[in-house]
Structure 1
């Protein structure tokens, strides 16, 4: 992979994924920079560019990346069934974290260097993950027409979902209603005889079994 020049602004598409958490629900919002570096196979990491996160609440995100690389190396890595590795380093709210993600080089090459970077945000507004994917996620065919060697990146923001919340009030109300009905004698016990009195039947059965084992019958002459 050839030495990269300083990052330049390239083609960018930005989308936002909203689940149960809206932008206004994030507890904190601070600007940050996600530094990107990448490699093919076992080759060393090289700078790819950076994602500028100005505001997660307001969706202010931009990306700068360099496309001055040798396309032949990507083709060779795809034919050798190697992996494309992306490393994302972010310093957010005073905490520095590094996230690693990978995809097959052939998928990236057959997607014509079009990829999707997803920034994962938790309920507190902290970035807890960065993942990479490609539009072409099927089996590689090896047949790719000529194309311009330029990274075309889509940035997604994925907000963490709220988990299911149990209806405690409804459960307590149901228990109270069953308690009142039982005190009034309005409930009927439809269980079988064994289900009702198993705690008395089981000890009796055990006593009979133990008595039979301690006094075996004499064999007939």
Structure 2
């Protein structure tokens, strides 16, 4: 029963991998819609921020279009920063067959404000050019302050300046699942036939690795000591 379940899981995994591979052609274009949550009173309310069109994954060729923040949106953003809240970004990846996959990432709003809305967006792909993660972070994150109110006065930008990085994730060698399942199946069949508890091999088949070296040593010792053989032959002639 356990082996059957393992087989079923393996087949489902192979089918999912095949479907995902077919849904994104090699080095095909990808569209990503960006939405952000600015209202701290409605944290699950997302509005449009812009979109990214990836023309070529291999050459990291992309185009990004983002909307400037309206005055009320900028004020909501400042309120998030002032209250130590997180800025949340939702990215919807649209494959060539229309399937949407959503990713959620966040950063402290005050850090984004302090960076003058200058941020990095890292898009990671697996070996099939399928998006597996999207992460947002402000520039110069290591030099930010403790998010006091003073930085809000220096904010003079209402438009995002985003640098997109396309990253391929190295996949570790996968385990030999098929070989392991086949081994389990053979062991199960052997147990059912009772072959594990009884060894029907002959004596020579079991211990040939010990017998052959002993015979070789005897032959070598006989060849290397011809005088003893000659002396024994001479004594026999004298009689």
TM-score after normalising by structure 2: 0.54
**1:54 has 2:55 as partner:** yes
More helix by percentage: 2
Counterpart contact for 2:113–2:155, Cα < 8 Å: no
Q: Deviations over 1:152-184 (max 9, x none)?
A: 11101111124379xxxxxxxxxxxxxxxxx99
Structure-2 residue corresponding to 1:133: 137
Structure-1 residue corresponding to 2:81: 78
Structure-2 residue corresponding to 1:111: 115
Unaligned runs of 5+ in 1: 1-25, 166-182, 185-221
Q: Are residues 97 and 107 of structure 1, via their aligned partners in 2, closer, same or farther at CA, if it must alter by over 3 Å?
A: same
TM-score after normalising by structure 1: 0.58
For residues 89 and 109 of structure 2, the distance between their equivalents in structure 1, rounded to whole angstroms, comes to: 11
Structure-2 residue corresponding to 1:29: 27
Superposed CA RMSD: 2.7
Which structure has more relative contact order (CA 8 Å, sep 6+)? It is 1
**How far is the alpha carbon of 1:72 from its aligned partner?**
2.4
For residues 68 and 111 of structure 1, the distance between their equivalents in structure 2, rounded to whole angstroms, comes to: 15
Unaligned runs of 5+ in 2: 1-23, 175-211, 214-239
**1:65 has 2:66 as partner:** yes
Instruction: Name the SS for the 2:79 alignment partner.
Output: helix
More strand by percentage: 1
**How far is the alpha carbon of 1:136 from its aligned partner?**
4.2
Matched positions, count: 145
Q: Are residues 37 and 146 of structure 1, via their aligned partners in 2, closer, same or farther at CA, if it must alter by over 3 Å?
A: closer
